[in-house]
Amino acid sequence: MKIKIVGAAGGEVTGSSYLIETANAKVMVDAGMFQGGRNTEEKNRLPEGTDPKILDALLLTHAHLDHTGRIPLLLKNGFKNTIYATDATIDLAEIVLKDSAKIQEQDAARKNRYHPERHVEPLYTPNDTLSFRSQCQTVELHQHIPVADGITARFFEAGHMLGSTSIELTVHEKGKTHVVVFSGDLGPIDQPILRPFEQLPHADLVFMESTYGNRDHRPYNETIKEFEEIILKAVESKGKILIPAFAIGRTQQILYHLAILFVQKKVRHFPVFVDSPMAIRAGKVFAEHPDLFDEEATDWKRQGLLPLDRNWFQFCVSMEESKQLNSIEGPCVILAGAGMCNAGRIQHHLKFNLPHQETQVLIVGYQGSGSLGRQLVDGATQVKIHGETIPVRAQIHTLNGFSAHAGQSDLLKWFSSLGQMKPKVVLTHGENLQRETLADQIEKKYGLKPLLPELNETVEI
């Protein structure tokens, strides 16, 4: 069996994808899009060595774009077989892919307007997403599911986002059986709304994420305290609070805490705008899957706070509604995508509000190398948005405690059930410092030396 790592390797976090090849089958786990600067996004093409026409199955850990964004390329190039994922992942991935296809078209059209001599085609179009749902098959957690000749899959809760999973593949080949585990993205144990990750029982080979492998996040209760202080300060100064948030997961998490603030009367109610059609659609999916909530979220739901309570929040669907927010005075909160500020409506709000000292920008998630969000986190005094140089006078706050990724301690806890078995370990989905630090910890605790692969490297078992 050969497993080629065709994304999220070589110190790259995004683009997660693995191509598994046995004597009898070819299966892919995830087909994510690379996100970040121009050099990173130029990698968005069919994974090297992949012929979608002969791919037996595609398995998805979860719906985020960096794990699903190249699916339309597979469909466009002849993939006709089954996509396996949880019900919530299918619902959310359909939203993500349709939005991504629309953005691909818009970006290509914009480039062609400004540089008609360099005509570019969109990576894919909405037509390339049409067969996605019909090719999907819903999986239940913990069930053994035959996905290809000699390959059976089981899915386990990963606690990262609604419907997220880790995947266990049991591979029978040439009279031998091997168990290969893909962690997917793992969530922190204390993340609200979602159930925590599950530990897996056995593995001969583990592919494990390492996004925050070098550190733990700030304790969640301290993060909430800081979040409340920023909100109170902005209300007093009548400033705008801009929150670039991933439409699925992070937006619902922030709204959850704002609603609790209002209910507990820690702050008087002020306008909160959800400027993301995708987040609004995702909120409806959350409402359809209350069985995936943890106990605390279930209790708040009984009080009417989930997923998007119109008593507290206002929703902007059209571009005209979004533009009108420029004339709104603070205090107010504007949540808009994209989470790394590399596209979407948040760029327009940043362009308009970064020059103002009373503006507060809350960075509440991972910011890929080269992204606009990373520039703000790194203290840039000016940034380029839509070709214009914008001065940064706003206050930038980084609240990593809101991260949907497990920190080092939680990563090691997830691995602890497998580490005693001395599996081969491959660390992906992390920048070099993060995965090197996590590799050192695993070596100290278990005597294992994890592999830190380069893009398109192959692991054999």
Q: Where are the domains of the chain?
A: 2-215+404-460, 220-402
Beta bridge partners of 155: 167
| Domain 2-215+404-460 grouped into CATH 3.60.15.10 | yes
* CA 12 – CA 432 distance, rounded (Å): 8
Q: Rg of the Cα trace of the chain? A: 22
pTM of the model: 0.90
- Per-residue tokens: 398: 């980084």
Task: Give the domain 220-402 fold.
Answer: Rossmann fold (3.40.50)
Residue 163, SS3 per DSSP: coil
- Per-residue tokens: 129: 């997403």
> 14 with 33: CB under 8 angstroms?
yes
Give kind and range of the element (H or E) at residue 273: strand 272-275
CA separation, residue 128 to residues 67, 103, 119 (Å): 17, 13, 20
- Please choose, from the candidates 168, 172, 170, the residue with its C-alpha nearest in 3D space to the C-alpha of residue 181: 168
Our CA angle for 84, 88, 91, nearest 5°, is: 85
For the chain, percent helix, then strand, then coil, each to nearest 5? 35, 20, 40
Sheet strand arrangement including 424-428: 145-148, 151-157, 165-173, 176-182, 205-209, 424-428
- With tokens 């913990």, the residue in question is 142
- Per-residue tokens: 117: 């001599």
Query: Burial level of 77, CB count in 10 A (0-12/13-18/19+)?
Result: middle
- Please choose, from the candidates 176, 306, 205, the residue with its C-alpha nearest in 3D space to the C-alpha of residue 251: 306
> 272 with 335: CB under 8 angstroms?
yes
- Please choose, from the candidates 144, 142, 134, 133, the residue with its C-alpha nearest in 3D space to the C-alpha of residue 170: 144
pLDDT one digit per residue (tens) for the chain, 461 residues = 999 999 999 999 999 999 999 999 999 999 999 987 778 888 999 987 799 999 999 999 999 999 999 999 999 999 999 999 999 999 999 999 999 999 899 889 988 998 899 899 999 999 999 999 999 999 999 999 999 999 999 999 999 999 999 999 999 999 999 999 999 999 999 888 899 999 999 999 999 999 999 999 989 999 999 999 999 988 888 999 999 988 888 888 898 899 888 888 899 899 999 999 998 899 889 889 989 988 888 887 777 666 556 677 899 999 999 999 989 998 999 999 888 898 889 999 999 999 999 999 999 888 888 889 999 999 999 999 988 999 999 999 998 788 889 999 999 999 999 999 999 999 999 999 999 999 999 999 999 999 999 999 999 99
- Please choose, from the candidates 95, 185, 184, the residue with its C-alpha nearest in 3D space to the C-alpha of residue 133: 95
Helical residues (DSSP H) of 165-302, grouped into ranges: 220-237, 250-263, 277-288, 295-302
